[in-house]
Amino acid sequence: MLLMKVKRISQISLREVIGRANISDNPWNWTIGNSNTTEIPHRQNISAGLNLNKTYSKGNKGLTMKLLSIRFTSPRLFNPSTRRHVSFRPIVNTVNVDNNNNHATPALNEDKEEKSNIGVIIASVISVLGGGIVLFFLVIKISDVVLTRRLKWAELEKACENCQELNREFDTIPIHKHTGDVLPKDATGKNRFSNVIPEPRTRVTLEDGQYINANYIQPVDGQTKGFIATQAPLENTQEDFWKMVWEQQSQIIIMLVNIIENNQPKCTQYWPDTERGNIWMYCGKYEILLQKRTEHDDLVHSTLLLKYTEKDLSRQVHHIWLKSWSEINDSKDSSTKILNLTKFCRPYIELSQGRPIVHCSTGTGRTGTVIAILISMNDYDQEKWIDILNRVQTIRNDRNGSVQTKEQYKLIYEVLYLYAKSKKIER
């Protein structure tokens, strides 16, 4: 298109020409657009553009050529998997210039100007393409920006009251999705849901190389202990689950789902729930004994003895089960229930030799919500600020789809506000 005769180009409809004729005293007019902020707000969309215009004038006639327009846009800046649009649009336009009123109208150019312009156009395109490549990689790098919104206690209350703001904030957090192509061959039949695929980078691998649908949630900002987020065990993955508990030296399991919800099976009964006699539950190389069972309102706390039969070794594990989450969204005191759960779990988390294991049915929605709350509680204890936006983004990077709904995201804010408020009262 760059080598088309100017006469043919001038016949193009003005609607097809990007931008208006640009008459400038500067013979080369470069326009580069980009963000000039060092800390990018969480709602900001970033785009980068590069336009190259060349203006000639001869008497009362002028020729403006938009040699190249390159535009990069990132509709959802912070999602590395989002679509990026890159367009290369070489455009040439001719204009008449009325020196009296600066009015520009389409006109034909002379053959001499046309011939002399071709070399300039080609050279310009080559140089601009180089700049375009730089901008392209710049936009890709920007898409990896870390989200952050640190709030003090007084700011948390205001944030909880602004539901629309929280919804917009939730929408900015990237969702990373994987297909079954990233799964090993032995994963067949071991996923509770076909669309919940663990992030390969952080996936837990059992010592013998076997697959389990679980991810490490890495510790953040000096916190020494991360988490493991996993799906509810299936009938055929119970031994894998207990193998993970043993190998990871986990001494607390937080369960956030009922065995049956809405007449649908959500979890296998993978632990013994009766204290009658010395009854062991057998799962391959592992045996589990219920030593003690106590109920605290909506919580069931089971003290288990986990035995590895091959080496005749045993270890105590605390199983803490919140039974009422299925009604949590309809409860006026839902945030209080979750606060009580997390406060109850924290001492056992501190005592656990290995990472705590948290699961719901999918290992994403409720699981991510509780992990975000527990991590943020540590933030507040250490720094006196809370950064829910960043913590949820970090958890999602490690476990796809964590914190599934806007209601769960708002619940995190509400629980942490209550927690920060209680710490203020304690002082």
* Contacts with 38 (C-beta within 8 Å, 6 or more apart), sequence order: none
* Contacts with 280 (C-beta within 8 Å, 6 or more apart), sequence order: 272, 287, 288, 289, 307
Q: How many residues does the chain have?
A: 427
Written as six digits, the tokens of 317 are 């594990």
| Measured CA angle at 222 (ends 216, 224), to 5 deg | 50
Q: Which contiguous run of DSSP H or E holds residue 88?
A: strand 85-89
Q: Catalytic annotation on 160?
A: no
Q: Are 90 and 83 in contact (CB under 8 A)?
A: no
Name the region of 59 (left: φ>0; alpha: ψ -120 to 50; beta: rest).
Answer: left
Q: Which contiguous run of DSSP H or E holds residue 148?
A: none
Q: Which residue has the tokens 């994403």?
A: 364
* Contacts with 161 (C-beta within 8 Å, 6 or more apart), sequence order: none
- Euclidean distance between CA atoms 219 and 225, whole angstroms: 6
Helices (H), 185-333: 238-247
* Contacts with 62 (C-beta within 8 Å, 6 or more apart), sequence order: 21, 23, 55, 56, 95, 96, 97, 104
Catalytic position from the list 267, 283, 345, 360: 360
Name the burial class of residue 332, with classes exposed (0-12), middle (13-18) and buried (19+) by CB atoms within 10 angstroms of its CB.
exposed
Neighbours of 129 (CB within 10 A): 13
**The 299-308 sheet, strands edge to edge:** 203-205, 211-217, 227-230, 357-359, 252-255, 313-322, 299-308, 286-296, 280-283
270-302 in b/e form (b: 16+ CB < 10 A) is bbbeeeeeeeebebeebbbbbeeeeeeebbbbb
Q: Pairing state of beta strands 260-261 and 93-98?
A: unpaired
Catalytic residues: 360
